[in-house]
């Protein structure tokens, strides 16, 4: 009998909530077949069966929050021969690496250059191969511990942990994102009674968001700086660009032009990336245990997106190297995929700073909570025309308020103001920087 457990699937991962059960007792399943969906931090992930066989007992229910190491499903393997072979391999692995069988099972091949012939005919399911590719692991370097040498998800997870890839597993779990489907098992239909209050389950992504927000507030001493930006010139520039390119797919040089309207947020992200080149302290992460502030080498902007299941933050990678058109396109694609549960694992990891655009729904100011362990988060509010004083005269300008929360352990208020002033100068004088923005 094989006990399928919730393994330690990443740094800091301690529990997961069961949100969907894909099999029933008595079902015949194959190795690597998805059997459960578990909500972890940020994503809802499918968990595949490590072995094939018959589902004997399901020990969890939808809504259960299971600790790492808990048994989820009992599986009777296809044959006694397979069970004996797996037990033999597990025993050998335990002797070699001294890892308890109930935790994980893995042995790594010797130097590939010594045994080039071993890099052929790898036994692994397509799902397991994709998982290895997602984390930059050459699956041919692994020794499978499944039946008949088959490489399993445990093999990939253990290799990642031992070779410095545990952070990626902690952020996206051991699987790619499942396309969540509402069904009778997971959909909550609130009922209203004259004698009973309405009760909404505090589960799934909502509970994970609460955990992250509490962790951030309890760990980081937040300070929020408020300011406003005059977007009048940028708005005029955008309108002129859209007018000039309307009905044409190429410019005078014959180069292709993306005719989709350029979002204000695309300019903001590029100005943010450029400003971080000078104020790198806000593109960093603090490790108090090591006594280190790690300055990130790339600007990976997390974009807070509201979905029916709650807030999620896909990441736009290497913003400092992207054109304004590339940022515009990738930002809209990420937002669409987030709202339609189509994000990939790589879309959710590696963020270095986060922005939130609440302007479309209104609001003047906010005190945003930092996306731990990042150092800063900027929220941009409603863009509206209002009277302001310029050269001692009252004029109408397109103004936007914004808020910046930062970690006061890492940076001081003066630095934060200098940083936002730099962004303001770029956005309020776009012509002087337009060549850099595109």
Residues annotated catalytic, as ranges: 408
| Helices 264-276 and 324-339, packing angle to 10 deg | 110
For residues 86 and 34, is the Cβ–Cβ distance under 8 A?
Answer: no
User: Chain centroid to CA 187: how far?
Assistant: 24
Q: Which residues pair with 386 in a beta bridge?
A: 397
Q: Which two tokens stand for residue 319?
A: 């913003």
Nearest-CA neighbor of 399 among 347, 364, 353? 364
The three-state secondary structure class of 212 is helix
Kind and range of the H or E element at 288?
none
Put residue 362 in one of left, alpha, beta given phi > 0 → left and psi -120 to 50 → alpha.
Answer: left
The three-state secondary structure class of 366 is coil
Distances (CA, A) of 103 to 6, 18, 31, 110: 9, 19, 18, 23
Residue 115 backbone dihedrals phi, psi, to 5 degrees: -135, 65
Sequence-distant (6+) residues with CB within 8 A of 330 are 316, 322
Q: To which residue do tokens 């499978």 refer?
A: 144
């Amino acid at each position: 009998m094989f006990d399928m457990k919730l393994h330690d699937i990443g740094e800091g991962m301690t529990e997961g909530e069961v949100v969907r059960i894909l099999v029933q007792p008595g079902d015949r399943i194959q190795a690597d077949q998805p059997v459960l969906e578990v909500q972890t931090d940020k994503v809802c992930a499918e968990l595949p069966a490590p072995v094939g066989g018959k589902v004997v007992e399901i020990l969890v229910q939808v809504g259960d929050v299971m600790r790492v190491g808990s048994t989820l499903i009992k599986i009777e393997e296809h044959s006694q021969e397979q069970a004996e072979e797996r037990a033999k391999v597990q025993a050998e692995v335990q002797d070699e690496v001294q890892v308890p069988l109930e935790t994980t099972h893995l042995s790594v091949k010797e130097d590939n250059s010594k045994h080039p012939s071993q890099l052929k005919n790898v036994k692994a399911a397509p799902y397991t191969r994709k998982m290895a590719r997602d984390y930059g692991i050459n699956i041919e370097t692994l020794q499978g511990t499944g039946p008949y040498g088959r490489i399993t998800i445990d093999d990939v997870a253990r290799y990642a942990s031992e070779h410095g890839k545990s952070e990626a597993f902690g952020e996206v779990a051991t699987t790619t994102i499942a396309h969540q489907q509402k069904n009778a098992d997971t959909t909550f239909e609130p009922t209203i009674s004259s004698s009973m209050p309405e009760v909404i389950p505090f589960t799934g992504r909502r509970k994970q968001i609460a955990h992250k927000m509490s962790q951030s507030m309890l760990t980081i001493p937040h300070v929020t700086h408020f300011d406003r930006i005059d977007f009048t010139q940028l708005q005029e520039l955008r309108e002129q660009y859209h007018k000039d390119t309307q009905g044409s797919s190429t410019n005078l040089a014959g180069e292709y032009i993306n005719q989709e309207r350029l979002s204000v947020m695309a300019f903001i992200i590029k100005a943010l990336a450029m400003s971080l080149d000078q104020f790198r302290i806000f593109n960093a992460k603090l490790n108090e245990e090591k006594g280190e502030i790690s300055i990130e080498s790339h600007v990976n902007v997390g974009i807070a997106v509201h979905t029916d299941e709650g807030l999620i933050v896909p990441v736009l990678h290497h913003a400092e190297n992207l054109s304004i058109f590339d940022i515009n396109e990738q930002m809209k694609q990420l937002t669409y995929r987030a709202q339609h549960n189509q994000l990939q694992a790589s879309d959710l990891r590696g963020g270095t700073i986060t922005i939130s655009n609440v302007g479309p729904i209104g609001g003047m100011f906010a005190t945003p909570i930092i996306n731990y362990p990042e150092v800063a988060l900027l929220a941009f509010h409603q863009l509206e025309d209002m009277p302001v004083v310029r050269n001692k005269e009252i004029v109408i300008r397109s103004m936007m308020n914004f808020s910046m929360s930062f970690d006061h352990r890492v940076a001081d208020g003066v630095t934060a103001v200098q940083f936002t002033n730099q962004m303001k100068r770029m956005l309020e004088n776009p012509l002087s920087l337009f060549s850099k923005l595109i």
